Amino acid sequence: MSRTRTALLAAMALVAGASGTAVAAYPGDVGISAVPCTVDYKVQNDWGTGFTANVTITNNSAAKSSWSLKWSYAGNQKVTNGWNAKVSQSGTAVTALNESYNGTLATGGSTSFGFQGTYSGTNAIPTTFTLDGVTCNVDGGTDPTDPTDPTDPGTGSRVDNPYSGAKVYVNPEWAANAAAEPGGSRVANQPTGVWLDRVAAINGAGGKMGLRAHLDEALKQKGSGELVVQLVIYDLPGRDCAALASNGEFGPTDIDKYKTQYIDPIAAILADSKYASLRIVTTVELDSLPNLVTNVSPRNTATPNCDTMKANGNYIKGVGYALNKLGDVANVYNYVDAGHHGWLGWDDNFSATVQTIKQAATAEGATVSDVHGFITNTANYSALKEPYFTINDSVNGKSVRESKWVDWNRYVDELSYAQAFRQEAVSQGFASGVGMLIDTSRNGWGGSARPTGPGAKTDVDTYVDGGRIDRRLNTGNWCNQSGAGLGERPQASPAAGIDAYVWVKPPGESDGASSAIPNDEGKGFDQMCDPTYTGNPRNNNHMSGALPNAPLSGHWFSAQFQQLMQNAYPPLS
């Protein structure tokens, strides 16, 4: 649960003796222009010994080309690192100076930065801030009717981090599959995502639970506390244009069917007041928007299907419509798919992906406020952290970026990528408090093949290959990867800017069939799921690394589940 200093508290603090010319004002008050500056200080995550916070400055005086914000703590809080500002501390006094790229503050302009800190005892929010020596009031920074404001006296009920202080729904169908496996009871109680990957899944298909059944079960699991339900929204027209294993039921032009047959029924169920006490997290349309960046002409990875979806705009329209309709439900938290570092970490992909997501987030009636955060590594295998080499290392005068594995990427693991992606999103206009999820369901890479130290410094490739945790043949390999293991268990607020590590992809559910299997689910055969496939430009023509004898995507794959448990990291007890 996050905390924020509201306008009412600011007024109380100023009456209690804050100096300077700042006067308390509520958002929308006619006197707001008399306030030289406002500061919105929000503790996003607090785990008892440490915390992360976001600070938004609004300048109501003359335009500035640089700025310095200062405050003091009443307790023993210590800032350990910051982003989007140079944050330093002397005793209890903290100073935040602008970076070179965000020093300009127009009259009425705002900028945001964040930081991580430690403390013991209490973590009281500062009451007085000065901007370039002038005292600011502390403004709540939210619209009184904004459903994302946790202090909203209206109907809204969102919090900054839905996972904070909450249990997460355990899908009984996945739990039963896991428990039926030898040793599976060790993880059968873990929360996983519920995939709504076709219209029939809304009401339940093939004897499986439908959306209402899952939500009813979630209410039983909730009890008197808070509970998160994780849903995967995944049925766009022309879905997964660069692959076949997860093709969907709607053709490239079926945008109206997507809206009326898929999104509208889901939104209607979620809006039922019966479920208003649940925190419903949606992962919105995996793999779609990044494909419009990397797999369209003139890229050498272009496919005709992705060119079609970029030309007709139905990925943009579909995601925008989903964000708008689902975002209208006060207890829904939309997280948009942001690929993974091995897909989008290059300079010509990274910023362009955020731009494309923002285009979708402002289409079909959606706004950036309909995006609560982003999720990376969904159903993928990228290592959470690479402890034995960094992007800044070099061997014999050659940068790690020149290695065949890194291949000029800017990132070597998911955590650094996700944190950087969040900063880029904020810089492009998404909310300063936007959070990240990382799917850690299959990125543990434990077992006997896991390195225990850096590679030899013979050359840059030996160094990277000898020390890398991710044991895939190429980061472009995505289907039922051989040697993979369960990753970090789901947990809230594990790192700065990260709302949670999650298992959105249920471990043991296949990525795609190893060979063509006739089906009525619209799922094709993708060669990347064939262990004999020798690759394509998207994986630098490496072998696929896929396990043999895999069933259709989403179907239970016992051999994979056993491998994931065997290679779990942290190991299973």
Query: Catalytic residue numbers?
Result: 287, 511
Q: How large a percentage of the chain has pLDDT more than 70?
A: 90
Q: What is the pLDDT of residues 93-103, one digit of tens each?
A: 899 999 988 89
101 and 184 belong to one structural domain: no
Burial class (CB in 10 A: 0-12, 13-18, 19+), 327: buried
What does the angle CA 505 – CA 433 – CA 272 come to, to the nearest 5 degrees? 60
Q: What is the pLDDT of residues 325-373, one digit of tens each?
A: 999 999 999 999 999 999 999 999 999 999 999 999 999 999 999 999 9
What letter does residue 554 receive in the DSSP assignment?
T
Q: Which of 11-15, 145-149, 473-477 has the highest mean pLDDT?
A: 473-477
237 and 286 belong to one structural domain: yes
In which domain, by residue range, is 77 found?
3-138
Q: Give the C-alpha separation, 333 to 311, whole Å.
A: 29
Domain CATH for 12: 2.60.40.290
195 and 294 belong to one structural domain: yes
> What pLDDT sits at residue 24?
25
Q: Is residue 554 part of a domain?
A: no
> What pLDDT sits at residue 132?
87
376 and 488 belong to one structural domain: yes
Instruction: Reduce the DSSP state of residue 515 to 3 states and report it.
Output: coil
Q: Which of 56-70, 252-266, 285-299 has the lowest mean pLDDT?
A: 56-70
The size of the chain, in residues, is 573
Residue 469 has pLDDT above 90, yes or no: yes
Q: Is residue 247 part of a domain?
A: yes
Q: Which of 138, 154, 177 corresponds to the end of one domain?
A: 138
Residue 28 has pLDDT above 60, yes or no: no
Q: Which residues, 6+ apart, have CB-to-CB distance to 99 below 8 Å?
A: 84, 85, 86
Q: How confident is the model at residue 20 (pLDDT cuts 50, 70, 90)?
A: very low
Residue 47 has pLDDT above 90, yes or no: no
* Residue whose tokens read 């958002």: 27
Q: Which residue has the higher pLDDT, 273 or 74?
A: 273
Beta carbons of 304 and 237 less than 8 angstroms apart: no
- Rounded to whole angstroms, what are the CA distances from 557 to 40, 199, 527? 49, 23, 18
134 and 171 belong to one structural domain: no
- The separation between the first and the last C-alpha atoms of the chain, rounded to the nearest angstrom, is 31
| Whether residue 265 has a cis bond before it, omega within 30° of 0 | no
Q: Is residue 40 part of a domain?
A: yes
> What pLDDT sits at residue 18?
28
Residue 465 has pLDDT above 90, yes or no: yes
Residue 87 has pLDDT above 50, yes or no: yes
Residue 12 has pLDDT above 90, yes or no: no
Q: Is residue 454 part of a domain?
A: no
Q: Which residues, 6+ apart, have CB-to-CB distance to 56 below 8 Å?
A: 39, 40, 42, 110, 111, 112, 141, 432
Of 50, 194, 292, which is closest to residue 554 (Cα–Cα)?
A: 194
Residue type present at position 494:
P
Q: How confident is the model at residue 45 (pLDDT cuts 50, 70, 90)?
A: confident
Handedness of CA 506, 511, 515, 519 (dihedral sign): positive
Q: Which residue has the higher pLDDT, 457 or 51?
A: 457
170 and 122 belong to one structural domain: no
Q: Phi/psi class of residue 214: alpha, beta or left (left: φ > 0; alpha: ψ in -120 to 50)?
A: alpha
Domain CATH for 357: 3.20.20.40
Q: Is residue 550 part of a domain?
A: no
> What pLDDT sits at residue 31?
33
182 and 299 belong to one structural domain: yes
Q: How confident is the model at residue 124 (pLDDT cuts 50, 70, 90)?
A: confident
Beta carbons of 299 and 292 less than 8 angstroms apart: no
Q: How large a percentage of the chain has pLDDT more than 90?
A: 72
Q: What is the pLDDT of residues 507-539, one digit of tens each?
A: 999 999 999 999 888 788 889 999 999 998 888
Q: How confident is the model at residue 136 (pLDDT cuts 50, 70, 90)?
A: confident
229 and 359 belong to one structural domain: yes
> What pLDDT sits at residue 147?
41
Look over the chain and give the mean of its residue pLDDT values, rounded to a whole number. 88
Q: Is residue 156 part of a domain?
A: no
Q: What is the pLDDT of residues 174-208, one digit of tens each?
A: 999 999 999 999 999 999 999 999 999 999 988 89
Q: Is residue 526 part of a domain?
A: no
What letter does residue 186 receive in the DSSP assignment?
G
Q: Is residue 441 part of a domain?
A: yes
Residue burial 130-161, b: 16+ Cβ < 10 Å; e: rest = bbeeebbbbbbbbeeebbbbbebeeebbbbbb
358 and 507 belong to one structural domain: yes
What's the pTM?
0.74
> What pLDDT sits at residue 157?
58
375 and 494 belong to one structural domain: yes
The full 3-state SS of 110-173, as one line of letters, equals: EEEEEEEEECCCCCCCCCCEEECCEEEEECCCCCCCCCCCCCCCCCCCCCCCCCCCEEECCCHH
64 and 191 belong to one structural domain: no
Q: What is the pLDDT of residues 280-302, one digit of tens each?
A: 999 999 999 999 999 999 998 89
240 and 353 belong to one structural domain: yes
Count how many domains the chain has: 2
Across the range 492-513, mean pLDDT stands at: 96
